[in-house]
Amino acid sequence: MFIVNQTTGKHVSKQDQLLELLADGGVHSGEALAARLGVSRAAVWKQLQRLGELGLEISARHGQGYRLSKPLELLDVDLLRARLGDELCRHIAAVEIYRSIDSTNRYLMEVPPDSLATPGRLCLAEHQSAGRGRRGRRWQSPFGASIYLSLRWQFAETPAQLPALALAAGVAVAQVLEAVGLEAVGLKWPNDLYWQGRKLGGILLEMRGEAGGASEVVIGLGLNVSMPDSAGREIDQLWVDLDQALGPARPHRAELAADLAGALCRVALRFSREGFAAFIADYEQRDILAGHEVRLEQSGRILQGTALGIDADGALRLQVDGEARRVVSGDVSLRRMP
Sequence ranges of the domains in the chain: 14-68, 77-284, 289-334
Q: What does the pLDDT read at residue 45?
A: 92
Assign domain 14-68 to a CATH class. mainly alpha
CATH of 77-284, one of 2.60.120.590, 3.30.930.10, 3.10.290.10, 3.40.190.10: 3.30.930.10
Q: Which of 90, 233, 326, 335 is catalytic?
A: 335
Q: Where are the alpha helices (DSSP H) in the chain?
A: 14-22, 30-37, 41-53, 77-89, 104-110, 165-179, 229-232, 242-246, 253-274, 280-286
DSSP reduced 3-state for 297: strand
Active-site position among 14, 70, 134, 295:
134
Closest CA to 307 of 328, 332, 337: 332
Whether the model pTM is above 0.95? no
H-state helical runs in 90-233 = 104-110, 165-179, 229-232
Identify the active-site residue in 67, 99, 106, 199: 199
pLDDT score at 12: 63
91's CB contacts (< 8 A; 6+ apart) are 118, 119, 120, 265, 269
Task: Evaluate whether 280 touches 288 at the Cβ level (below 8 Å).
Answer: no
Give yes or no: 199 in active site: yes
pLDDT at 9: 40
Q: Is 335 a catalytic residue?
A: yes
153, β-bridge pairs: 120, 217
Q: 101: which DSSP letter?
A: B
User: Strand, helix or coil at 38?
Assistant: coil
According to DSSP, the β-strands at 192-195 and 185-188 are antiparallel
Beta bridge partners of 222: 148, 202
Between CA 188 and CA 202 the distance in angstroms is 9
Q: Please count the other Cβ atoms lying within 10 Å of the Cβ belonging to residue 212.
A: 9
Q: Supply φ then ψ for residue 155, to 5 degrees.
A: -110, 130
Chain-centre distance for alpha carbon 217: 15
- pLDDT at position 141: 81
For residues 48-65, one letter each, b for 16 or more C-beta atoms within 10 angstroms of the residue's C-beta and e for the rest, the string is beebeebbbbeeeeeeeb
Alpha carbon distance 314, 238 (integer Å) = 26
Query: For 289-334, CATH number?
Result: 2.30.30.100
C-alpha distances in Å from residue 20, one per residue of 68, 84, 110, 118? 11, 24, 30, 33
The pLDDT tens digits along the chain (338 residues) read 344 444 444 446 888 889 889 999 999 999 999 999 999 999 999 999 988 888 788 988 888 899 998 899 999 988 999 999 999 999 999 999 999 899 999 999 999 988 889 999 999 999 998 877 666 567 678 899 999 999 999 999 998 899 999 999 999 999 999 999 999 999 999 999 999 999 999 999 999 877 667 899 999 999 999 987 777 777 878 999 999 999 999 999 999 999 999 999 999 999 999 999 999 999 999 999 999 999 999 888 899 999 999 999 999 999 999 899 999 999 999 876 55
Backbone angles phi, psi at 57, to 5 degrees: -95, 110
Residue 103: per-residue pLDDT: 95
> Is residue 84 within 8 Å of residue 92, measured between CB atoms?
yes
